[in-house]
């Protein structure tokens, strides 16, 4: 099996849940399909979905909820 990293599309704040009162999009060990939402990056009050580009299983999140991230920074590892 190979590991693929999902990068941040933009610099900003990474969120693992769609709203503060909602559960995380995914957890380590969860299966993902192409297009599944993995989190959000917020830039100046605009939110961009981070989506899986491959199908597989989440190995781990490399950024935690509300972490500041840079463009291209790996956010999630997916085993394909």
pLDDT in tens, 6-62: 999 999 999 999 999 999 999 999 999 999 999 999 999 999 999 999 999 999 999
Domains of the chain as residue ranges with CATH:
3-79 (2.40.50.100)
pLDDT in tens, 28-44: 999 999 999 999 999 99
**Hey, how many other C-beta atoms are within 10 angstroms of the C-beta on 5?**
13
Residue 1 has pLDDT above 80, yes or no: no
How far out from the chain centre does Cα 71 lie?
13
What is the pTM for the complete model shown? 0.93
């Amino acid at each position: 099996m190979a590991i693929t990293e999902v990068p941040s599309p933009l610099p900003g704040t990474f969120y693992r849940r769609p709203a503060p009162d909602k559960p995380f999009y995914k957890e380590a060990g969860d299966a993902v399909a192409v297009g599944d939402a993995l989190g959000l990056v917020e830039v100046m009050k605009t939110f961009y979905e981070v989506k899986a580009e491959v199908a597989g299983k989440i190995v781990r999140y490399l950024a935690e909820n509300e972490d500041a991230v840079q463009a291209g920074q790996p956010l999630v590892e997916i085993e394909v």
